[in-house]
């Protein structure tokens, strides 16, 4: 069947979009056109988190129930105005990643079925310098997002004892992600070692709640603190990105008060956000994750972590 195409103007760029009525989320009849519309509307708060960052594409050409594929190499058919950046792998191979700096680039990516946005933690201008410390909290059933919230609060309080602020967002899936803004000189070697040490410390202190080892069989009923995201080869789903789940869901920023309210009530639905809910929240509150880009904090050394752990 031939693709149904049309041409639109986006910030002085002429883009061809296709099959806007294709169903991307069958359970809710959410279409490709609605997906693109969401990204256009959320762009003012989303784009700053993508700017100057290489991105791994995760494409779902036939929607969330169809086959998908990751694409690191920016497609050869990408318009010439799409920004790219070269990244050398450890084996010497060079990958030319897409960089989504503006609205036309975002619409182009969405039109080729890029449902999820997965940027690196560093900017293209400093590929060895992460701008934040990242923890991915993954529940092992029967643990769920509420247990992830309890662990997030423990991590938050640990960082507060180190005079550091952290922010939290839903993954848009089953867990949470906690981010500590840095925006000061550091390295992945330091952030990964720190994250690993903190995860180990908390898993020893709360062995009934937390696991820091990668082995999946150890996660039953516990929350795995994935510290390995702090690596120059790994990407993390971007705040405000859609997720390819049964229903349209978003990796949405939340406040610590919202998280504590959900934990107190045991209501996991309070930690699930649709595209419409996310748009309403951003219109009311702006970018709840803005400090991830602006707040400057210095990563403590491992001795500071050890001292805090002993108190």
pLDDT in tens, 200-241: 999 999 999 999 998 888 889 999 999 999 999 999 999 999
> Mean pLDDT for the chain?
95
Rounded average pLDDT over 174-195? 97
Provide the pLDDT for residue 304: 80
Share of the chain above pLDDT 70, in %: 99
- For residue 65, give both structure tokens: 């129930």
pLDDT in tens, 251-269: 999 999 999 999 999 999 9
pTM, full prediction:
0.95
Q: Is the pLDDT of residue 301 over 90?
A: no
**Domains of the chain, first to last:** 132-233+252-271+296-309 (3.30.70.3300)
pLDDT of 1 strictly over 70: no
Cα(50)–Cα(52) distance, integer angstroms: 6
Does pLDDT of 309 surpass 80?
A: no
Residues 28-51: tens digit of each pLDDT: 999 999 999 999 999 999 999 999
In this predicted structure, the answer to whether residue 2 has a pLDDT above a threshold of 60 is: no
Place of tokens 């210095």: 298
Is the pLDDT higher at 195 or at 215? 195
> Residue 39 in contact with residue 53, Cβ under 8 Å?
no
Confidence of residue 303 (pLDDT cuts 50, 70, 90): confident
pLDDT tens digits along 73-108: 999 999 999 999 998 877 888 999 999 999 999 999
- Quote the pLDDT of residue 258: 98
- Please state, for a pLDDT cut of 90, what percent of the chain lies above it: 89
What pLDDT, on the 0 to 100 scale, is given for residue 265?
A: 97
Residue 291 to residues 161, 183, 283, Cα–Cα distance (Å): 19, 10, 17
Residue 135's closest CA among 156, 157, 163?
A: 156
């Amino acid at each position: 069947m031939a693709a149904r195409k049309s041409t639109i103007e986006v910030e002085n760029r002429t883009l061809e979009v296709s099959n806007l009525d294709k169903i991307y989320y069958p359970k809710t009849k959410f279409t490709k056109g609605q997906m693109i519309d969401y990204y256009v509307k959320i762009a003012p708060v989303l784009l700053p988190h993508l700017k100057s960052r290489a991105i791994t594409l995760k494409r779902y050409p036939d929607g969330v129930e169809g086959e998908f594929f990751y694409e690191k190499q920016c497609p050869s058919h990408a318009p010439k105005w799409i920004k790219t950046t070269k990244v050398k792998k450890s084996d010497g191979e060079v990958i030319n990643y897409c960089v989504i700096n503006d609205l036309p680039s975002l619409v182009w990516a969405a039109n080729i079925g890029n449902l999820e946005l997965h940027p690196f933690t560093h900017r293209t201008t400093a590929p060895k310098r992460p701008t934040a410390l990242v923890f991915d909290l993954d529940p092992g059933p029967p643990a769920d997002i509420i247990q992830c919230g309890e662990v997030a609060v423990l991590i938050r309080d640990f960082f507060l004892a180190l005079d550091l602020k952290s922010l939290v967002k839903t993954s848009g899936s089953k867990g949470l992600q906690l981010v500590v803004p840095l925006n000061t000189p550091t390295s992945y070697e330091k952030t990964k070692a720190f994250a690993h040490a903190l995860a180990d410390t908390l898993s020893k202190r709360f062995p009934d709640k937390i696991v820091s080892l990668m082995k999946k069989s150890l996660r039953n009923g516990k929350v795995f603190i994935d510290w390995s995201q702090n690596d120059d080869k790994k990407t993390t789903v971007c705040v405000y990105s859609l997720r390819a789940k049964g229903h349209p869901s978003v990796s949405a920023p939340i406040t610590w008060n919202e998280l504590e309210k959900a934990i107190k009530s045991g209501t996991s639905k309070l930690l699930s956000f649709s595209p419409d809910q996310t748009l309403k929240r951003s219109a009311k509150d702006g970018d709840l994750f803005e400090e991830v880009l602006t707040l400057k904090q210095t990563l403590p050394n491992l001795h500071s972590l050890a001292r805090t752990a002993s108190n």
